[in-house]
Amino acid sequence: MSANGLITEHADGCPRCWWPGLDPVYVAYHDTEWGVPEYDSRALYEKLILDGFQAGLSWITILRRREGFRRAFQNFEPERIARFTDDDVERLMGDTGIIRNRAKIRGTISGARAWLAIEEAGPGFSDFLWDFCDGRPIQTNARSRADIATETEVSKRIGKALKQKGFTFVGPTIVHAFMQAVGMVNDHLVGCHRHAPCAALGETSRS
């Protein structure tokens, strides 16, 4: 195992980024989701909300509760969440399957309403986000943890635009983590077995 922010060789022979460690849930997430370009507007909303819930916590904490979040927030369907009332907020505050934070719960609801407004105004939430990087993933070609930013000028611009639209918990660090997760930035280390496949996906036309 590597704790110095470099490539880690796993027992299956695959070299990986250091951060998932040996946790099978985290390794599966690293191998199948993180860095894969996501263009579905609903899925992007879900991931942005979950990254907001992560604030002050580790991502694995959220990942282990993801199904609980999906159940509690009705599969993150913005049309349904936008209709949540104060009674729903209180219900969610009693739900042990999620992180019970009132401000983040209310932010999920206001974010759903903002998402709907963006969708209705056009060109849609996915295009709204991806236009900040000209529709293509940013390839950083990082070789160690030291080469990976925690925030960028792009994440600052996106966070500011999201806040203006009505989203909360969208500071530049949270937004950059979101961008890494949904493939707007390919921050898999060079040498990680997922770096090249995610870079290749970035060359594929949006569907």
Contact 48, 170 (CB under 8 A): yes
Max alpha carbon distance in the chain (Å)? 51
**Ligand-binding site membership of 133 (annotated):** no
Nearest alpha-carbon partner for 45 in 75, 90, 89: 75
**Ligand-binding site membership of 176 (annotated):** no
Contact 20, 26 (CB under 8 A): yes
| HSE-up (13 A, CA, CB side) for residue 29 | 19
Q: Using CA atoms, how far apart are residues 29 and 23, in angstroms rounded to an integer?
A: 10
Position 69, amino acid: F
Nearest alpha-carbon partner for 157 in 180, 129, 184: 129
Q: Write the secondary structure of 11-34 as one string of H (helix), E (strand) and C (coil).
A: CCCCEECCCCCCCHHHHHHHHHCC
**Ligand-binding site membership of 14 (annotated):** no
**Ligand-binding site membership of 198 (annotated):** no
Residues making up the annotated binding site are 17, 30, 188, 192
Can you say which residues are annotated as belonging to the binding site for Zn(2+)? 17, 30, 188, 192
